[in-house]
Amino acid sequence: MRSLQCVPCILRMVWMRPDRMTDITQASNAAALDPRSLAAANVRLEELWSCGTEFLGSRYAILGGAMSWVSERHLVSAISNAGGFGVIACGSMMPDQLAAEIAATQALTDQPFGVNLITMHPALDDLIRVCLEAKVGHIVLAGGLPPGGAVRAVKDGGAKLICFAPALVLAKRLVRSGADALVIEGAEAGGHIGPVSLTVLAQEILPHLRDVPVFVAGGLGRGEAILSYLEMGASGAQLGTRFAATRESIAHDNFKRAFYRANARDALPSVQLDERFPVIPVRGLINEGTRQFMRHQLETRDRFLSGELTRDQAQLEIEHFWAGALRRAVIDGDVEHGSVMAGQSVGMVTGEQAIPEVIAELVEQAVSAIALRSL
């Protein structure tokens, strides 16, 4: 009854003030104050992502997307301990390093977590074996369509396989070839990206793919947005940027501060200057490094045109420009010349938060948005 009396003033707050976004949040909080609607909303959220929580074995269907150099034992265990699902980024680690990282993570959490392997890693088979020997339950194969042998090794070893699907036709093919779950990552995301936004990928894929859990990623910073994708048929969400600069993250303070200062418009994809020399787009904060990359591409193209470099040599020169650049930014703190990978959701990272706080906030926003509807 009390909540019913609030309707006119909540509507006034939502529609009559200029700063609607803040007011919707206030209205949501008002709804969340009603314990009965809050409890019902919690149940509804649990229903909506039950496929995801069942698949992951976590309390919430929120994955901490693997981030090279960032997603190590501390971040991953903190995400899993807070009810999410942490994922170790293997990146360029060799099998013995990965084994040590998994063991260290297992020492910090008894909750499930996964490992993300890049398919073009030269030791992919050994890395899969390391995961299976350590009884890792979920393996993510990223960076291109996984080779058949890798898919079989994961499945035969008893782990669940998660793959990235950049389009509906590939999503269906991945499921046919054995993927147990998919991540659809929009171009809003931080790191290596495809060309299509999550808004469009979700419409293309979610209504047509109900056989396996599908997790959405890219540009997600609030629980209301996650909720909207759950209602379209997603089983959960994967976030990277919101976790990268948390208290538990080992990233350098300079890297974290760059996140707190940045707006969505500062997180741009790398630009390719010549169609003969492809550049895989990477979304990150623009800095001196990104400006130097433009000059480097022009100079390399000129060296190719003058006959100094073959086409292959020029391509390699361009690809090598960013070698080690993410480590330079994340670990060494060189945010001017390193690669500060970040998604457009970086604008929603405004200060240091602990991981349990971030996860609780996302869940509360989703629950409040549901509770508001029952008023």
Ligand X SMILES: Cc1cc2nc3c(=O)[nH]c(=O)nc-3n(C[C@H](O)[C@H](O)[C@H](O)COP(=O)(O)O)c2cc1C
Report the site for ligand X in 88-107 (rule: CB under 6 A): 89, 91
> Measured from the CB atom, is 174 or 372 closer to ligand X?
174
Check: CB of residue 117 under 8 Å from CB of residue 128.
yes
In the list 83, 84, 289, 343, the residue contacting ligand X (rule: CB under 6 A) is: 343
Q: Which two tokens stand for residue 72?
A: 């190590």
Exposed, middle or buried: residue 50 (CB in 10 Å: 0-12, 13-18, 19+)? middle
Instruction: Quote the CA–CA distance of 256 and 328 in Å, as a whole number.
Output: 13
* 337 Cβ contact partners less than 8 Å away, ≥ 6 residues apart: 287, 288, 289, 292, 325, 328
In the list 83, 95, 191, 194, the residue contacting ligand X (rule: CB under 6 A) is: 191
In Å, how far are 70, 75, 111, 351, 373 from 250, measured between CA atoms?
6, 8, 20, 15, 39
- Pick the closest to residue 372 from 133, 42, 29, 75 (CA basis): 29
Report the site for ligand X in 298-317 (rule: CB under 6 A): none
> Measured from the CB atom, is 70 or 153 closer to ligand X?
70
In the list 52, 65, 166, 347, the residue contacting ligand X (rule: CB under 6 A) is: 65
Check: CB of residue 219 under 8 Å from CB of residue 237.
no
Q: Does 287 bind ligand X (CB under 6 A)?
A: no
In the list 83, 84, 114, 219, the residue contacting ligand X (rule: CB under 6 A) is: 219
In the list 241, 249, 287, 353, the residue contacting ligand X (rule: CB under 6 A) is: 241
Q: Does 248 bind ligand X (CB under 6 A)?
A: no
Q: Does 70 bind ligand X (CB under 6 A)?
A: yes
Planar angle of CA 299, 297, 329, nearest 5 degrees = 120
User: Can you spell out the DSSP letters for 249-285?
Assistant: --S-HHHHHHHHH--GGGEEE-----TTS----EEEE
Q: Does 146 bind ligand X (CB under 6 A)?
A: no
Q: Does 341 bind ligand X (CB under 6 A)?
A: yes
Question: Which of helix, strand or coil describes residue 365?
Answer: helix
Which residue stretch of 94-102, 124-132, 202-210, 342-350 sits at the interface with ligand X (rule: CB under 6 A)? 342-350
In Å, how far are 102, 167, 228, 233 from 187, measured between CA atoms?
29, 12, 18, 20
Which residue stretch of 101-109, 169-177, 217-225, 364-372 sits at the interface with ligand X (rule: CB under 6 A)? 217-225
The strand pair at 282-285 and 267-269 is best described as antiparallel
| Count, residues near ligand X per rule CB under 6 A | 28
Q: Does 236 bind ligand X (CB under 6 A)?
A: no
In the list 166, 190, 213, 289, the residue contacting ligand X (rule: CB under 6 A) is: 190
Q: Does 116 bind ligand X (CB under 6 A)?
A: yes
Give least dist CB 140 to ligand X, A. 7
Q: Does 114 bind ligand X (CB under 6 A)?
A: no
Q: Does 366 bind ligand X (CB under 6 A)?
A: no
Q: Does 240 bind ligand X (CB under 6 A)?
A: yes
* Residues making contact with ligand X (CB under 6 A): 65-68, 70, 89, 91, 116, 142, 185, 188-191, 217-220, 238-242, 244, 341-343, 345
